[in-house]
Amino acid sequence: MTDMMPLYEVPLYEVFIRSKRGLDHRHVGSLHAEDSEQALEYARDVYTRRGEGVSIWVVKSSDIVASQEGDGASFYDPQDDKPYRHATFYKVPDEVSNL
Amino acid sequence: MSTGASSDLCAYSIALGDDALILGQRLAEWVSNAPSLEEELALANVALDHIGRARMFYGHAAAVAADGRDEDTIAFGRDTRTFTNLLINELPRGDFAFTMVRQFLVDAFNVPFLAALAGSNEPTLAAIGEKALKESTYHLRRSRDWVQRLGDGTQESHDRAQRAADELWGYTRELFEPFAAEARLTTGGVTADRAALQPLWRQQVAATFDEATLRIPEDAWSIRGGRDGVHTEHLGYLLAEMQFMQRAYPGQRW
């Protein structure tokens, strides 16, 4: 790397891999690539070398909208006092045998 | 199988193994030198595919010859004059453009060649052809992609890719020249006629070069000799590095 080389950011991509048919894609990591086609090839080379996947998704990290740490109080805390949203809140009557 | 046929098959398997091993070694030189971590892993994957291919060809040659040699003695126990790889595989890796243009020219040959080899009437060669074809199909996707990126990229990357194409062009003719043992095997249905693959190869290379805004070099010169063990000065240095451990500690295993 010399001073002559222009420095610019190669875009970051997030990689999601489905390990088996029927399972969900899971986030496995990220990588740098010039475009989505190259990101897909690099994902294959970096993350599926040991036969980990049957399907790969790549998405530009900058296209992901993420919740912020500061949103925690308003996003999640209100759920703490709403136990009726969980199935376990409800008693199953003895008469119900199949649920 | 007659002695002549089995010695042809042995020589042929070793030649194809040499092509794969030497190119694999050149690609492996990028490990710790590649432009990015992602590209380094990708190059290493391709290198390992080639080295794995060499092992299969050498293993087959050893089984056919049954003279006590194994894949390691074939890879590490020979000097330049008995290596029979095509010259294009041994040229120094050069810059990244050179590596990728070479890879593209070789991959574009390997895909139709291995597809034809998969149809061999010799079961082991057919099986190797089938396995290697899947690998080379991916290699070609990558190397074609890079040739387009570099050729149609910046002025600098275009110039480097064109320079690489100009330097490599004269070494591509050898890809289509069967040696004597191979020609006999082709007649027997054991392998494909590599000479017949040239028109398709040229057409594919021309299409990619066109998209990459690269010019097909003129057929002004060509050089051959790899199959006869007549190599460039570069092969000796490659072997010296690759074979060092087995030369210093013969038979060493881990």
pLDDT tens digit sequence for A35-74:
999 999 999 999 998 877 789 999 999 999 988 888 888 8
Sign of CA dihedral A40, A43, A45, A51: negative
Query: Which among A66, A3, A6, A59 is positioned nearest to A28, based on CA atoms?
Result: A59
- Judging contacts by C-beta atoms under 8 Å, the chain A residues touching residue B160 are none
The partner residue sitting opposite B38, judged by closest CB among A37, A42, A49, is A42
Tell me the pLDDT band of A5, cut-offs 50, 70 and 90.
low
Q: Flag whether residue A33 sits within 8 Å of chain B, measured between CB atoms.
A: yes
pLDDT at A21 over 90: no
CB B164 within 8 A of CB B94: yes
Task: Please determine, for the modelled complex, whether the ipTM score is greater than 0.85.
Answer: no
Beta strand A55-60 with A12-18 is antiparallel
How many whole angstroms separate alpha carbon B85 and alpha carbon A24?
A: 46
- Compute the average pLDDT of residues B200-217: 98
How many whole angstroms separate alpha carbon B21 and alpha carbon B44?
A: 13
User: What distances in angstroms separate CA A76 from CA A68, A87, B160, B173, one per listed residue?
Assistant: 11, 18, 55, 68
- Judging contacts by C-beta atoms under 8 Å, the chain A residues touching residue B42 are 41-42, 45-46
H-assigned helices in B91-152: 96-117, 123-151
B42 and A34: CB-CB below 8 Å? no
- Judging contacts by C-beta atoms under 8 Å, the chain A residues touching residue B149 are 34, 38
- Compute the average pLDDT of residues B111-132: 96
- Write the pLDDT tens digit of every residue in B160-205: 999 999 999 999 999 999 999 999 999 988 998 999 999 999 999 9
Q: Flag whether residue B48 sits within 8 Å of chain A, measured between CB atoms.
A: no
pLDDT at A2 over 70: no
Laid out side by side, the sheet with A55-60 consists of A26-32, A12-18, A55-60
How many whole angstroms separate alpha carbon A75 and alpha carbon B114?
A: 57
In this prediction, residue A20 carries a pLDDT of: 84
Query: Which among B85, B114, B109 is positioned nearest to B26, based on CA atoms?
Result: B85
Identify the residue among B38, B152, B211 best suited for mutation to test binding to A, counting A beta carbons within 10 A and taking the highest: B38
Residue of higher predicted confidence among B254 and B228 = B228
Q: Flag whether residue A35 sits within 8 Å of chain B, measured between CB atoms.
A: no
Q: What is the pTM of this model?
A: 0.89
- Judging contacts by C-beta atoms under 8 Å, the chain A residues touching residue B38 are 31-33, 42, 45-46
Instruction: Pick the range with the lowest mean pLDDT from A5-14, B37-46, B128-137.
Output: A5-14
pLDDT at A81 over 50: yes
- The one-letter amino acid at B98: F
Q: How far is A92 from chain B (nearest CA, A)?
A: 54
For residue B251, give both structure tokens: 């038979």
Angle formed at CA B18 by CA B15 and CA B20, multiple of 5 degrees: 115
Query: Dihedrals φ, ψ of A35, to 5°?
Result: -155, 180
Q: How far is B42 from chain A (nearest CA, A)?
A: 5
- Judging contacts by C-beta atoms under 8 Å, the chain B residues touching residue A46 are 37-38, 41-42
Q: Flag whether residue A48 sits within 8 Å of chain B, measured between CB atoms.
A: no
Query: Which among B72, B67, B66 is positioned nearest to B17, based on CA atoms?
Result: B72
Q: Flag whether residue A10 sits within 8 Å of chain B, measured between CB atoms.
A: yes
Q: Find the closest chain A residue to B153 by CA distance.
A: A34
CB A13 within 8 A of CB A28: no
How many whole angstroms separate alpha carbon B135 and alpha carbon A38?
A: 17
Name the DSSP class of B230. -
For B3-248, CATH number out of 3.10.180.10, 1.20.1260.10, 3.30.70.100, 1.10.1200.10 equals 1.20.1260.10
Query: Which among A25, A1, A3 is positioned nearest to A14, based on CA atoms?
Result: A25
CB B128 within 8 A of CB B117: yes
Q: How far is A46 from chain B (nearest CA, A)?
A: 6
Interface of A with B in 52-91 (CB under 8 A): none
In this prediction, residue A7 carries a pLDDT of: 56
Name the DSSP class of B194. G
pLDDT at A6 over 60: no
- Write the pLDDT tens digit of every residue in B42-96: 999 999 999 999 999 999 999 999 999 999 999 999 999 999 999 999 999 999 9
Q: How far is Cα of residue A65 from the mean position of the Cα atoms in its chain? A: 11
